[in-house]
Structure 1
Amino acid sequence: MTATDDKRVRNHERQPATRRLRIAVLIKTNSGGSWILPQVEAMRERGHDVTVVLPPGEGRLTKELRGRRFEVVECPFPLRPGPSMLAGLWRLRRLMRRLRPDVLQYHLIASAYVARLATVGLPIRRVHTVAGPLYLDSPLIRAAERLLWRLDDIIVCGCRNASDRYAELGCPSRRRAVATYGVDTSAFDPTGAGPETRAAARAELGIPPDAFLAVMVAYVYPPKRLVHAGRGIKGHDVLLEAWRMFRRRHPQAHLLLVGGGWTTAGAAHRAELVQRFQVADDPSITWLETVPDVRPCYQAADVSVSPSLSESHGAAVEAGAMAVPSIVSDAGGLPETVDERSGWTVPRDNAAALADALEAAYDEFEAGTLASRGTAARQRMVDMFDNRDTARQVADICETVATVAGRP
C-alpha cells in the first residue's frame, strides 16, 4: 500500500468501486446475528453481489435473508470439533474458489479462524468484523490473535474498546477501523408515545403504573471456560445481588428481566440463578424468557441496566434509542454508550456500586428529572449509533479494501 492508500483506509473515505464487487459474508450462526442485515443491505444498494455463508438449517437469520432475496449458501465447515474439520476447511476453500469473492467479510471469532485458514493464498481481501471483545479476555486467544490478525486486511471493530485492544496486540491504526453494529433508530423510536403508551405497556406486563421500573434485556449465556470462569458474562448475578440491596430501601420498585437461556446450557444457568436468588418468591422481579417485541418493555421502563462482565454495546443502544437512560458497567464498549447527561457507568462485577447507581436513578425518578436523561440518550444514539450510518461505513471499508488491494 502507498501512503495515500494507508490514509484512505485509516480515514474510511469512500473509494467508489470501479466495478460491481462480489462480497461473501461468513457468520457462524443462522439464528442470531441479525445485526448483519443493515450491512448486507447497504452493500447490495451499492450494486454489489452479496452471498451470505451460514451453517446448515432453517434458522431465523437464514429465513430473513432469503425473505430479502439474498443468496444464502450453506457453510461446509462443521460446527463442532472433530475429525471432519480438516475436510471441512478444504470444502470451504473450494466454496470460496467457486464464489470468487473480491472481499470476504466474517463475523465472530470462530468464523474468523475458519475464514483465515480456508483462504490462505487465495486472491481474496479479508475483512474481520468484531462483534464484541469477549474473546480477547482470554490470555490464550489474545496470544493467538497477536499473530493471526495479520491475516486480516482490515479489522472492523464494533466498539472503540476492541480497536484499542487490537492496538495493544500490535495492529496499526490503518488496519483497524471502528464501525458499531448500532441500532435502527427509526424502528426504536419513542416519538409520539405518551403517558397512555407507557400505561398500556405497564398494564400488559403487570407492572404498577407508578412504580420505579428497571429493565435488563439480555440472553442468559452459559459460563465460559476460557473467560470469566463460572460466571455468565451478562452479569445477571451482579444485578440480582444489587437488586437485593436496593429493594430493601425501596420495596415498591420493580425489576423486569427479559431473556431466556442461550442454548441448553444457558437455560440451565438461568434456572440456577432463579433458584439462587429466589426470583420466583420475589414479587418485585418479573423475568420473561421472551417477548414478541422488546420495545414495549422499554416504553414501560424508567432505566435500563447492562451490568456485563464483557460486552460491546449491548442493549444500551436499544434502550437509548427508546429514550431510556442506562446504567452500564465499565466493561468493553459499554461506557461508550452513555455520557454524564444520559446515564451512569459503574465498575463491573460490583453489586454495591450498581445498587448506588440504581439509587441515583431512583432519586431522579422521584424528582421528575430522570426523563431528561432519556432525551439525551436518544440524541446520543441518533448521532453516534444509527445502524444505517454504520452499515454505510462498512460498505465503504469493503470497497476501499478492494480498491487499495488493486482489484480491477
Structure 2
Amino acid sequence: MRRAILHIAQPSEAGVARVVTDLAAGQCANGDQVIVACPVTGTLWWTAARRGARVVQWDAVRSPGPALAREIAGVRRIVDMVRPDVVHLHSAKAGLAGRLAIRGRLPTVYQPHAWSFDAVSAALRTVAVQWERAGARWAHQVVCVSDGERAHGVAVGIRSRYTVVRNGVDLAWCGPPDASSREAARCRLGVRVTGPLAVCVARLCRQKGQDVLLDAWAELEKRMPQARLVLVGGGPDQSALAARASPTVGFAGAVADPRDWYIAADVVVLASRWEAGMALAPMEAMACSRPVVVTDVPGAREVLPPRHVPFAVVPLEDSAALAAAMARLLTDPVTSRALGEEAQAHIRCHYDVRRVVEHMYTVYGEARRVWATGRTA
C-alpha cells in the first residue's frame, strides 16, 4: 500500500536532518509518497530532495515566540495541501506547532529528538514539562530513540503511547575505511596534522558542551602538546568558543557530509549536557571504525558495546574525566584501534538504518489504529 507520509522538521540540520533524510530515503525506496516540510536554511531541504522526497517550505525558528501563530498556520496549510496518511513531527518546535495545528485530527507521530524541557532555563522548565504533558494527547505515538529517553519522559509525568526506535546508520555511507584512509582523509580535508587528532562533530551550542570540551582540552594539551582538536559544526556559540580556544583547536564550520572527519580522527568526542538517547555522530563514528568518548546522558550506554563503557563514558560536565578519557585513547593506538574495530562490528550488526525504516512502519500502523478508535493518550 502506497502511503503519503508527511515529515515536519525544525531544526533542519545536523543529526535531526540526517535522521529525517534517511527515513525519507528508505520510505521513497519502498514506493511511498514522502513529503518533508522544513525551513529552506540548513541541509535537510536539499538532502531530502536529493534522496527522492518532495520538499515544501515551512518557515519556522527553533525557539517558541511571536512567530508561533504563523508557524501553526503554516502547518495547517501544508497538511491541507498534502493530505497525508500520517504526520511525523520531528523535534520540539515541530512537535509544538504541529500538535497545536492538527490536534489529533490525523494520525500523528511525535519524535522529540531530546525533550524540550532539557533545552530551556530552569525558569521555563516547568512550563515546558506542562506543555509536553498536555500535548501528549495529540500524539498517537511518541517515538524515543532510547529506553533512557522514554524513562526520562515518564519520570516527569508525560503519559503517552511510547515506542523506542533506536537511531540507525546508513552503512553504505559509512563503508569501512581502508588502512590508509586516515591519512587520505586528512589530505582531502587539508588537515596538516601528523600527531593525534580528536574530532567533535556537533552543533556549537550549550547542549553539545563544547565549552566543557575546551576546558578538558586545555588540560590534555599540557600532557600532549602535539595533539590537535577540531570542532566540526556551526552554531550560536561559535564566536565565544573560538575566543577561548587555544591554537591547537581548529574550527571547520558546518559540513553537509562529515564522513571524512570521522575517518581522519583518532577519537571522536561529544561532551553533551543532554541528548535524545545518543547522538547520531558517535554512532556514525563507530560505524567508521573510530572509538568514541561521550558523556553519560540518558541512553548513551545503550548503543555501546559493553567493553567500551569504561573507556567511552564520562560524567556530565566533568572536564577532568573527559581529558583523561581522551588521553587514554590518544596515547594507546593499539587499544584505540581494537575498540574502533569492535564498535564498527557492533553498529553494523545492530544499527542498520534499514531496520529503523521498517520499524517506523509499525509505529505508523499503530498510530493509525489508535487514531481510528478516536482515543487519546
Deviates more, 1:58-67 or 1:149-158: 58-67
Percent same amino acid at aligned positions? 28
Residues 128 and 82 of structure 1: CA distance in aligned 2, closer, same or farther (over 3 Å): closer
2:163 to 170, 174, 177: 177
**Residue equivalent to 1:16:** none
Tell me if the contact between 1:328 and 1:335 (Cα under 8 Å) persists in the aligned partners. no
1:341 Cα offset (Å):
2.4
**Residue equivalent to 1:370:** 336
**Residue equivalent to 2:264:** 300
Is it true that 1:21 corresponds to 2:7 in the alignment?
no
**Residue equivalent to 1:44:** 28
Is it true that 1:104 corresponds to 2:70 in the alignment?
no
Runs of 4+ in 1 over 6 A off after TM superposition: 76-84
Is it true that 1:254 corresponds to 2:236 in the alignment?
no
| 3-state SS of 2:36 partner | strand
Tell me if the contact between 2:165 and 2:359 (Cα under 8 Å) persists in the aligned partners. yes
Q: Aligned partners of 2:167, 2:331: CA distance in 1, in Å?
A: 33
Q: Aligned partners of 2:364, 2:231: CA distance in 1, in Å?
A: 38
1:357 Cα offset (Å):
1.1
Residues 148-172 of structure 1, C-alpha deviation per residue, up to 9 Å, x if partnerless? 2122111011232221112223456
| 3-state SS of 2:55 partner | strand
Q: Aligned partners of 2:164, 2:19: CA distance in 1, in Å?
A: 15
Q: Compute the TM-score of the two structures, normalised by the length of structure 2.
A: 0.85
Tell me if the contact between 1:242 and 1:351 (Cα under 8 Å) persists in the aligned partners. yes
Tell me if the contact between 1:134 and 1:311 (Cα under 8 Å) persists in the aligned partners. no
- Extract unaligned runs of 5+ from structure 1: 1-18, 222-231
**Residue equivalent to 1:187:** 173
Count matched residues: 360
Residues 395 and 44 of structure 1: CA distance in aligned 2, closer, same or farther (over 3 Å): farther
For the pair shown, the structure with the greater C-alpha radius of gyration is 1
1:402 Cα offset (Å):
1.8
Amino acid at match of 1:100: R
- Extract unaligned runs of 5+ from structure 2: none
Amino acid at match of 1:157: C
| 3-state SS of 1:113 partner | helix
Residues 200-236 of structure 1, C-alpha deviation per residue, up to 9 Å, x if partnerless? 334441011xx22222112212xxxxxxxxxx22111
**Residue equivalent to 1:387:** 353
**Residue equivalent to 1:14:** none
Q: Aligned partners of 2:157, 2:134: CA distance in 1, in Å?
A: 9
* CA-atom RMSD in angstroms: 2.8
- Relative contact order (C-alpha < 8 Å, sep 6+): which is higher? 1
Q: Aligned partners of 1:29, 1:344: CA distance in 2, in Å?
A: 28
Q: Compute the TM-score of the two structures, normalised by the length of structure 1.
A: 0.79
Deviates more, 1:113-122 or 1:396-405: 396-405
Amino acid at match of 1:240: L
1:318 Cα offset (Å):
1.3
Q: Aligned partners of 1:373, 1:358: CA distance in 2, in Å?
A: 13
Deviates more, 1:348-357 or 1:130-139: 130-139
Residues 88 and 274 of structure 1: CA distance in aligned 2, closer, same or farther (over 3 Å): closer
Is it true that 1:217 corresponds to 2:181 in the alignment?
no
Residues 335 and 109 of structure 1: CA distance in aligned 2, closer, same or farther (over 3 Å): same
| 3-state SS of 1:309 partner | coil
Amino acid at match of 1:188: C
Residues 38-81 of structure 1, C-alpha deviation per residue, up to 9 Å, x if partnerless? 212333344433222233x4753223333444333333778886
**Residue equivalent to 1:228:** none
Tell me if the contact between 2:24 and 2:51 (Cα under 8 Å) persists in the aligned partners. no
**Residue equivalent to 2:49:** 66
| 3-state SS of 1:131 partner | coil
Residues 399 and 353 of structure 1: CA distance in aligned 2, closer, same or farther (over 3 Å): same
